[in-house]
Homo-oligomer: A and B are copies of this chain.
Amino acid sequence: MSYMLDEIRQQPDVIAEVVSHERRGAEALAAEIEKRGICFAMMAARATSDHAAIYGKYLLEINNKLPVALADPSVFTLYDSDLKLDRALVVGISQSGQAVDVAECLKRSKKTGALTVGITNESGSLITEIADYVILCHAGREHGVAATKTYTSTLGALYLLSACLSHEPSRVDKLLSCADAMRKALDMQDYIADRAERYRYMQEGCVISRGLNYCTALETALKMAETSYVGLTGFSAADFLHGPIAAVHENEACFLCAPPGRAYATMLDMAARLKDRGAEAVTLSSEDEILRLATTPFKLDVHLDEELTPLVYIIPGQLLAYHLAVARGYDPDRPRGLSKVTITR
């Protein structure tokens, strides 16, 4: 079996691992955040980990009222700035724990008095040596070059931190129960493998979502770009209406991620507009109303809190990236021009 497919399928089990091993640590970290009078957070990450950071930003802002900045690591690494961070929580995310620029952010932030946290899948890695606190992802070794289970386990780790900060243990139970919804998403595999054929010759396209699932749009687009070499771009629906929609042409593939929740109404509006333009909409949702507007409906029959949907709605995207690569004659485990760990300075 392919590493990537195998690792996609392990995801429901990984969530329980994160919770059982990291709950106590996340509680201690939450207590420290309260004690230190932290007034904002900054997250440093690249690529897939950056998409997880975007999820973390929405979660901490919506559930914990804590404003979150996404770090541009070059501010530290190229421009040598020492930001004022003595009232900040700085979270560095790197699945390998070896991202040099993320490590540099943590190191400099710590020096200026920030409370630092590393989220990584590798104990003993570079960022674990620097950060004050560490949350491990417990995803097991990831062989696939396209990160999958380390992504969802990072989302789980961020959710756990948010739940501990809000003193709502019931949210931790909800996190555990989303493993069932993840299994339902995995059940879509045969259907997705069949539908992927249709996109054998797709040359471009976009992935659109909004709000809590903006990260899902970005991550789905990146997975397909990594494994299938197709120039897909992820968008927030709100931004998409401010310009890029003008470039959508007839038959262009637009992937929509539209779970029920606060962002759903915008997605429904987007689906109608794309239909008017004659675009090809591939829509992932539990809702028949929006699926009826799709060229290719991906029905995901699960019902869970919107804040947990990113852990589940990414799975059909990962499966599509895998099967699209296969349909196009590529090996998803060996993307051309990429290595597992990318070093940016």
Cα separation A81 to B81 with both chains bound (whole Å): 31
CB of A277 within 8 A of CB of B246, answer no
Cα separation A249 to B225 with both chains bound (whole Å): 12
Q: Which A residues from 56 to 75 make CB contacts under 8 A with B?
A: 57-58, 61-62, 65-70, 72-75
How far, in Å, is A111 (CB) from chain B's closest CB?
Answer: 13
Measured CB to CB, the nearest residue on chain B to A79 is: B62
CB of B72 within 8 A of CB of A58, answer yes
Please tell me which stretch of A13-21, A149-157, A202-210 contacts chain B, meaning at least 4 of its Cβ atoms lie within 8 angstroms of it: A202-210
Contacts of A249 in B (CB 8 A): 229
CB of A225 within 8 A of CB of B243, answer yes
Measured CB to CB, the nearest residue on chain B to A249 is: B229
Q: A222-B243, A238-B344, A344-B238 are in contact. Are A79 and B262 (CB under 8 A)?
A: yes
Q: Which A residues from 202 to 242 make CB contacts under 8 A with B?
A: 203-204, 206, 210-211, 214, 222, 225-226, 228-231, 233, 236, 238-239, 241-242
> Is A260 in the interface zone, CB < 8 Å from B?
no
> Is A25 in the interface zone, CB < 8 Å from B?
no
> Is A166 in the interface zone, CB < 8 Å from B?
no
CB of A68 within 8 A of CB of B69, answer yes
CB of A67 within 8 A of CB of B84, answer yes
Q: Which of B84, B241, B248, B266 contacts A342 (CB 8 A)?
A: B241
> Is A47 in the interface zone, CB < 8 Å from B?
yes
> Is A244 in the interface zone, CB < 8 Å from B?
yes
CB of A229 within 8 A of CB of B246, answer yes
CB of B58 within 8 A of CB of A75, answer yes
Query: Can you identify 20 A-B contacts, CB atoms within 8 angstroms?
Result: A40-B40, A40-B67, A40-B69, A46-B242, A47-B243, A48-B243, A58-B75, A68-B69, A74-B211, A74-B263, A78-B211, A79-B262, A87-B87, A203-B203, A206-B231, A225-B244, A241-B342, A246-B335, A246-B336, A246-B337
Measured CB to CB, the nearest residue on chain B to A114 is: B67
> Is A83 in the interface zone, CB < 8 Å from B?
yes
Contacts of A246 in B (CB 8 A): 225-226, 229, 335-338
Cα separation A248 to B233 with both chains bound (whole Å): 13
Cα separation A113 to B288 with both chains bound (whole Å): 43
CB of A61 within 8 A of CB of B47, answer no
How far, in Å, is A99 (CB) from chain B's closest CB?
Answer: 9
Q: Which of B67, B206, B238 contacts A101 (CB 8 A)?
A: B238
Contacts of A245 in B (CB 8 A): 337-338
> Is A39 in the interface zone, CB < 8 Å from B?
yes
Cα separation A211 to B78 with both chains bound (whole Å): 8
